Structure 1
Amino acid sequence: MKNIRNFCIIAHIDHGKSTLADRLLEFTHTLDGKKLQNQLLDDMDLERERGITIKSHAIQMIYEYEGEKYTLNLIDTPGHVDFSYEVSRSIAACEGALLVVDAAQGIQAQTISNLYMAIEQDLEIIPVLNKVDLDSAMPDEVEDQIVDLLGIPRKDIIRASGKTGIGIPEILKAIVERVPAPGGDPDAPLQALIFDSVFNSFRGIIAYYKILNGSIAKGEQVKFVATEKEYEADEVGILRLDMIPKERVECGDVGYIISGIKTATEVKVGDTITHVKRPCDKAIDGFEEVKPMVFAGVYPIESEDFENLRSSLEKLQLNDASLTFQPESSVALGFGFRCGFLGLLHMEIVQERLEREFNMDVITTVPNVSYRVYDKKGSMKEVHNPAGLPDATLIERIEEPFIRASVITSTTYLGPIMTLCLGKRGVLVTQNYISGDRVEIIFDLPLGEIVIDFYDKLKSVSKGYASFDYHLHDFRPSKLVKLDILLNAEPVDALSTLTHFDNAQSFGRRMCEKLKELIPRQQFDIAIQAAIGAKIIARETIKAVRKDVTAKCYGGDISRKRKLLEKQKEGKKRMKQIGNVEIPQKAFLAVLKLD
């Protein structure tokens, strides 16, 4: 065990984690030249196309140092705030972390938040200054920032470049010398923490774990503590680029287990694996339950695909433990699921993965957050969906979630960012100058204001330089109203939203205008209205497609023309009563991008 090192790589988005991981794999000869490619651990097409890491990936390397062989278990983690749950699980399976900072961009919000996560778990931090080969690199200034943040001697910071391979030997040497070997007792009863799982259509569910105490061998009877289910370990092994089967996985190692589990709900991330004959005393403290930030309805386009959608979501949840869902129904869209996501990027990725990996065509409704509604009797109800809101006369007050947001930027963009946050009903808490011209602004913002387009706007007003990180802070009373959209006086529940009273009028008007562009014209007039309760606050009309019925009347008496027009008018009236308006999927998506 003294020769095992478990470590992860943490950093802000686009600071070069995956490229650095490629160089480490290349240097330790884990892969030969044929298999080497960029972003090697990002095995999803989606990750390669977007150039972001969505899943954390574990891989084992063998490194020889001073005549001894060391087993290095590396976990590459995502950088985006929407995938911070992945990072927290990776950190729980490690004893050390490489903190990667871009020499051109310096320390950013997600760097700090991931660092605090690692410090809470008592990880040994090795700071790495990446991209020092760039012309725009400022290694001395960024080193000052790292020294200020961590309070460590300057000589402990390793200068490296994931692209050219500078500093890779020093990083490997630091991992062996500075990261402690895993603790644990090889002779104690088995205790292994599940930190990830995947679904394989041939082999069932494969769980990835880290062994804290004891060891696990092929053919042994094991038990999953939280679900109390027992299985036989058909195959155990370690994770290289492929899964390598072994007879036994030892204490302190990271490995996988295949035991023919078919039901997705039987494996929970954060659960403990132990032996049936010699169980451990207590389960390992898993991870805290993830709290979704954004809720949206996901409905199959064909109603008979409901069960397929359920099984697809269950399989996806194995691989993405931060996704939560429960069944719900809607008048306009039929049966579907109310899904909880960590943010808008997470929601987009889940929708895309459903289409690619499971061939599911889905409609996603307008995202919203959960509110606490207090009635006149003083009882509280959580509402995720505007349709679940009680009658306005029964409501005492509505409280909405507020987040504590940290924005790090250069002083050049301070004005526009302040204007943006205050325009979103933000409250300035503090403002700290980190170093030179970099400033950290702390705001309290309503979560409902930032779920749709805040991050995109922040990037555009700061030309991409501001970094953003947040956590849920508290619930505060707000003057919220339910905004309904009516088509020909029929409410469309999938388009209704809860919004602040001050924004309702302009938001309703913009929605009506957008829908007017997107809904195709019919043979009859369509009235699009935005309403708060019984009060209509905005209206647009889509004019009917009209056939000229009087074209065949040339000359003659006017009464002939009038008779034809009256007949057409009657037909239109009847058609309007029985005609229904189909809302295209584009309309649901357009509401998200109203500005």
Structure 2
Amino acid sequence: MKNFRNFCIIAHIDHGKSTLADRLLQATHTLNEREFQNQVLDNMDLEREKGITIKSHAIQMEYVQDNETYILNLIDTPGHVDFSYEVSRAIAACEGALLIVDATQGIQAQTISNLYLALEHNLEIIPVINKIDMEAAMVEEVTDQIVELIGCKPEDIIPASAKTGIGVPEILEAIVSRVPAPAGDPAAPLQALIFDSVFNSFRGIIAYFKVTNGTLRQGDKVKFFNTGREYVADEIGVLKMKMVPRQEIKAGDVGYIISGIKTSSEVKVGDTITQVANSCSKAIAGFEDVKPMVFAGLYPVDSDDYEDLRSSLEKLQLNDASLTFEPESSLALGFGFRAGFLGLLHMEIIQERLYREFDMDVITTVPNVSYKVHTTKGDVVEVHNPSGLPAPTLIDFIEEPTIHAQVITKTEYLGAIMKLCIDKRGILRNQVFLSTDRVEVNFDMPLSEIVFDFYDKLKSISRGYASFDYYLNGYQQATLVKLDILLNGEPVDALSCLIHRDNAYDFGRKMCEKLKELIPRQQFDIAIQAAIGAKVIARETIKALRKDVTAKCYGGDISRKRKLLEKQKKGKKRMRQVGNVEVPQQAFLAVLKMGD
């Protein structure tokens, strides 16, 4: 065990984590030149297209130093705020972390957030300044920032360039010398923490785990501690570029287990694997259950695909434990699911993965957050969906979730960013100048205000130089109203939303205008209205497609023309009674892009 090292890489998005992981794999000859490709651990098409890491990836390397072979288990982690749950799981399986900071951008909000996660788990931090070969690199300034942040000595920081390979040998030496070997007893009863799982249509569910105590051998009868289910370890092994079977995996190592599990609900991330014959007395403290921030309805385009959508979501949940869902139905869209996400990017990625991996085309409703409704009877109801709101006469008051937001930016963008936050009902808490041209601003603001387009606006205002991080800060009372969208007097429940009273008029007007562009014209007039209760606050009308019935009348008495128009009017009236308005899928998506 003394030759094992488990470490992860933490950093802000786009600071060079995946590229550094590539260099480490090449330096340890874990993969040959033929297998190599850039961002080799980002094996999802989506990750390559967007240039971001979505999943944490585990891989084992062998490194020789002073004629001794060390086993290094690397877990590469995402950098985006929406995937911080993946980071927390990776950190739970490690003893050390490489903290990567971009020499051209300095410390950013997500760097600090992930660093605190690592420090809570008592990980050994190895600071690395990346991209030192670039012309815009500010090595000395960034060194000062890191020293101030974690209190290390300047000589502890490793200057590196993941692109050119500078500093990679020093990083490998630092991992061996500074990261402690995992603690644990190979002879004790087996305790292994599941930190991820994937679904394979041939082998069933494959669970990834880290052994804390004991030894797992192929053919052992194992038990999942929290679910109480028992299985046979058909195949166990370690994760290299491919899965490599092993006869046994000892304490301190990271590996996988295949035991023919077919049902996704039987494998829970954070569960403990132990042996049936010599079981451990208590489970390893896993990770806390993740709290979804944003809720939206997912409905199959074809209602016959409901069961397929359920199984697709269950398989996705294996690979992404932060996704939650429960069945719901809508008058407009039929049967579907109310799903909980960590943020808008997470929601977009799930939708895209459903389409690519399971060929499921889904309609997504307007996303909203979870509110606490206090009724006049003194009960508290948690509402994720506007249709679940009690009648207005039964509501005493509504509380909405608030967040503590931290923005780090250049001083030249400070004014515009403060205006953006105040427009979003933010309250400025404080601002701290980290250096002469970098400032950290702290706000308290409602979570619902950042759900839509806050992140996009922040990036465009600051030309990409502002970084953003947040955590939940409790609930506060708010004057919220339910905004309904009516088509010809019929409410479309999938488009209704809970919104602050001050923003309701603008939002309702924009929504009506957007729908007027997107809903195709029919043979009859369509009235689009935004209403709060019985009060209509905005209206647009889509004019009917009309045939010129008077074209054949040239000259003659006006009554002839009027007779034809009256006949047409009656037909339109009759048609309106039987005609129904189809809302295209773009209309549901358009609501997300209201700020454009």
Superposition pairs for residues 241-260 of structure 1, below 5 Å?
241-260=241-260
Aligned equivalent of 2:30: 30
* 2:277 match: 277
1:7 corresponding residue in structure 2: 7
What letter is aligned with 1:485? I
Question: Separation in 1 of the partners of 2:251 and 2:318?
Answer: 25
Give the aligned residue type for 2:362: V
2:594 counterpart letter in structure 1: L
Q: Does residue 61 of structure 1 match 2:42?
A: no
Give how far 1:550 is off. Answer: 1.7
Q: Measure the CA separation in 1 of the matches of 2:524 and 2:43.
A: 51
Equivalent positions of 1:54-453 (< 5 A) are 54-453=54-453
Q: Which letter does structure 2 place at the counterpart of 1:309?
A: L
The amino acid across from 1:11 in the alignment is A
Q: Secondary structure at the match of 1:408?
A: strand
Residues 148-179 of structure 1, C-alpha deviations (whole Å, 9 max, x = no match):
00111110000001000000000000000000
2:471 corresponds to 1:471: yes
Q: CA deviation at 1:432?
A: 1.2
Number of corresponding residues? 595
Give the equivalent residue in structure 2 for 1:563.
563
Which whole-Å CA distance do the structure 2 matches of 1:27 and 1:176 have between them?
14
Letter in structure 1 aligned against 2:87: V
Cα distance in 2 for partners of 1:424, 1:559 equals: 58
Cα distance in 2, alignment partners of residues 272 and 260 from structure 1:
18
1:552 match: secondary structure: coil
Distance 2:591 2:27 in 1: 49
What's the CA shift string for 1:270-296, capped at 9, x where partnerless? 000000011001000010000000000
CA distance in 1 between partners of 2:36 and 2:100 (Å): 22
TM-score (normalised: structure 2) = 0.99
Residues of 1 paired with 2:125 and 2:435: CA distance?
A: 21
The one-letter amino acid paired with 1:573 is K
CA distance in 2, matches of 1:514, 1:563: 36
Deviations 1:389-442 (A, max 9, x none): 011111100000000010001111110000000000001111111123211111
Structure 2 spans left out of the alignment, 5+ residues: none
For 1:375 and 1:42, the matched residues in 2 are separated by: 48
Q: Matched residue of 1:145: which SS?
A: helix
- d(CA) in 2 for partners of 1:474, 1:544: 49
RMSD: 0.6
| 3-state SS, counterpart of residue 211 of structure 2 | strand
Q: Say yes or no: does 1:489 pair with 2:489.
A: yes
| C-alpha distance in structure 2 between counterparts of 1:541 and 1:101, whole Å | 54
Cα separation, 2, equivalents of 1:474 and 1:37: 45
Deviations 1:323-357 (A, max 9, x none): 00000000000000000000000000000000000
What amino acid is aligned across from residue 275 of structure 2 in structure 1? Answer: H
The alpha-carbon deviation at position 250 of structure 1 amounts to 1.2
Q: CA separation in 1, counterparts of 2:574 and 2:475? A: 49
Helix, strand or coil for the counterpart of 1:515? helix
The CA distance in 1 between the partners of 2:33 and 2:7, in whole Å, is: 25
Distance (Å, rounded) in 1 between the aligned partners of 2:410 and 2:565: 67
* d(CA) in 2 for partners of 1:30, 1:494: 50
Deviation at 1:556, TM superposition (A): 3.5
Provide Cα deviations, 1:263-320, integer angstroms capped at 9, x if missing partner: 0000000000000011001000010000000000000000000000000000000000
- State how far apart, in whole Å, the 2-side matches of 1:241 and 1:334 are: 44
Question: Deviation at 1:214?
Answer: 0.3
Query: Residue type matched to 1:482 in 2?
Result: K
Quote the residue 1:521 is aligned against: 521
Alignment-mate amino acid for residue 60 of structure 2: Q
Which whole-Å CA distance do the structure 1 matches of 2:557 and 2:203 have between them? 81
CA distance in 2, matches of 1:549, 1:153: 86
- Between 6-15 and 436-445, report the one with greater CA deviation: 436-445
Equivalent position of 2:575 in the other structure: 575
Aligned partner letter, 1:202: F
State the alpha-carbon separation in 1 of the partners of residues 472 and 144 from structure 2.
Answer: 31
- Alignment partners' CA distance in 2, 1:356 and 1:142: 40
TM-superposed CA distance for 1:474, in Å, is 0.9
CA distance in structure 1 between the partners assigned to 2:487 and 2:461 by the alignment:
36
Post-superposition CA distance 1:178-217 (Å, at most 9, x none): 0000000000000000000000000000000000000111
Deviations 1:354-412 (A, max 9, x none): 00000001000000000000011111000000000011111100000000010001111
How far apart are the structure 1 equivalents of 2:430 and 2:281? 46
The question of 1:540 aligning with 2:540 is answered yes
SS of residue in 2 equivalent to 1:261 = coil
State the alpha-carbon separation in 2 of the partners of residues 103 and 555 from structure 1: 81
Match of 1:136, as an amino acid? Answer: A
The 2-side partners of 1:556 and 1:483 are apart by 51
SS in 2 for 1:63: strand
Deviation at 1:562, TM superposition (A): 2.1
Q: Distance in 2 between matches of 1:289 and 1:300?
A: 28
Give the drift of 1:554. 2.9
The SS at the match of 1:13 is coil
How far apart are the structure 1 equivalents of 2:285 and 2:436?
Answer: 41
Tell me the secondary structure at the aligned position of residue 363 of structure 1: strand
- Structure 2 counterpart of 1:429, which letter? R
Q: CA deviation at 1:549?
A: 1.2
| Cα deviation, residue 114, structure 1 | 0.2
**1:559 shift after superposition:** 2.8
Amino acid at match of 2:459: K
Partner of 1:503: 503
* 3-state secondary structure, aligned to 1:551: coil
Q: In 1, Cα distance between the equivalents of 2:32 and 2:9?
A: 22
CA shift at 1:555, angstroms?
3.4
What letter corresponds to residue 504 of structure 1 in structure 2? A
Equivalent position SS for 1:177: helix
- Matched position secondary structure for 2:550: helix
Shift of 1:558: 3.0
* Structure 1, gaps ≥5 residues long: none
Residue aligned with 1:71, SS: strand
CA distance in 2 between partners of 1:589 and 1:371 (Å): 23
Q: Provide the C-alpha distance between the structure 2 equivalents of 1:100 and 1:436, rounded to a whole number of angstroms.
A: 22
Distance (Å, rounded) in 2 between the aligned partners of 1:187 and 1:320: 33
Say which is worse superposed, 428-437 or 474-483, in terms of deviation.
428-437
Cα distance in 1 between the residues matched to 2:564 and 2:150: 84
